[in-house]
Amino acid sequence: MSRRALITGITGQDGSYLAEHLLELGYEVWGLVRGQANPHVSRLRKHIGDVQITTGDLLDQGSLISAVERVQPDEVYNLGAISYVPMSWQQAELTAEVTGMGVLRMLEAIRVVSGISPSRTPDREQIRFYQASSSEMFGMVRETPQNEKTPFHPRSPYGVAKSYGHYITQNYRESYGMFAVSGILFNHESPRRGAEFVTRKVSLGAARIKLGLATELRLGNLDARRDWGYAGDYARAMRLMLAQDAPEDYVIGTGQTQSVRELVEFAFRTADLNWEDHVVLDAKYTRPAEVDLLCADPKKAREQLGWEPEVTFEGLVTMMVESDLRLLSDSARPEDEPFSPDHW
C-alpha cells in the first residue's frame, strides 16, 4: 500500500514541489484548499498531475477535522500560511490566526481524529506531522550561523506567528507523544515563487527590462543578507524528516549567504544588463524592523538526514531569470502562473 499524504498550502511554491516529489516516490497525494471553486486547483493538476483535493480552512477547526477524517493520511505537511513577510504588518491579526493558530488547529484535528489524549498515547502507525517553520523566527540573530539551538528573536508578525507554530508543534510532541516535527527552512526560491518576493521580483524585473517591458526596478534594502536555496531541494528534506525513527526538528539551508545587491547583480548579468542602470532604491520597500543576516548551519540535517542541497545560488538565479524571460516572451502577465501566492 502506498503512503497517503495531506498537504496544506499545496497551491503554493513549496506545496507544488513537495507534491511532485511525493508522487515520484509513489505516494497518494491530497491537497487541502479553501472553497469548492478554487481557480488554482485546475492549474495545479495541469502542472503536477494526479493530486486529489479536499476542502478545508486553517481558520476553521471543524473543516480540518473533517478533512483528516476523509483523507486518513499517513503524513500531514502543514505548509499553509500567509507567507509574505511585509504583508504581515498590514494584516497582523490574520497572520497570527492563519500562520500561528492554524498550526494548533491542524494538530488538534490530528489529535481528535486519532483519539489521542493525555491517557491514550499514539500507536506506532500514528499520523506524522510536519510543520513549516522559518528562519524568520531567528530575526535579530544571537549567533551566526543559526542552528536548532539558536534562540529566536522574530522581527515581524510573520516571524512571531511562525515561532508560535514551532513551539506548539514541540508542545504536542512532548505532551501527547505525537510524531510532530518542524523544519526550520531558510530562504528557498524557484521560478514558482510569487512575484511579490524579492528574488522573484528581481528575476521578473530583469526579464521585463531585457524584453523592453520596463525600464527600472524599485527595491528597498540591498544590504540584507540571506541564505538562499532551491525550493525543490528543500521539499526533499521535508519528506526525510518524517521518514526518521524519532521526531526531531532540523535547520535546512545552504550555509552560505549573499546580499540582495549580489542577487540583483547576478540576475541582471544573466540577462546581459548592468543593474546600476536600472535599479532605483525606494524607502517604501524597507521593513519596519529589518532582519539583516540569516545563515543556516545545516550540519544536523546533513549528518542525520543525509540531505545536501543540489542547486547552487548561481544555478538558482539563472534558472529563475531564464524562466521569466520565457514566461514574459509568451505573456506579459505573470499573474497567470499556476502557483498561488495566497496558498493557505
Task: Tell me the catalytic residues.
Answer: 163
Under DSSP, the state recorded for 188 is E
φ, ψ of residue 15 to 5 degrees: the values are -60, -40
d(CA 73, CA 190): 28
Instruction: Estimate to the nearest angstrom the gap between the alpha carbon of 180 and the chain centroid.
Output: 17
Question: Which three cell numbers mark 207?
Answer: 526579464
d(CA 99, CA 344): 9
What 3-state DSSP class applies to 254?
coil
Is there a contact between 88 and 161 (Cβ–Cβ < 8 Å)? yes
What 3-state DSSP class applies to 240?
helix
What 3-state DSSP class applies to 329?
helix
d(CA 122, CA 59): 26
At a CB cut-off of 8 Å and minimum separation 6, what does 168 contact?
103, 104, 107
What 3-state DSSP class applies to 180?
strand
The torsion angle over the Cα atoms of residues 197, 326, 274 and 213, rounded to 10 degrees, is -80
d(CA 260, CA 287): 14
User: Beta-strand (E) ranges in 65-157?
Assistant: 75-78, 128-134
Q: What type of residue is 11? A: T
Cα–Cα distances (Å) from 70 to 32, 53, 55, 138, 258, in that order, read 11, 11, 10, 36, 44
d(CA 307, CA 146): 17
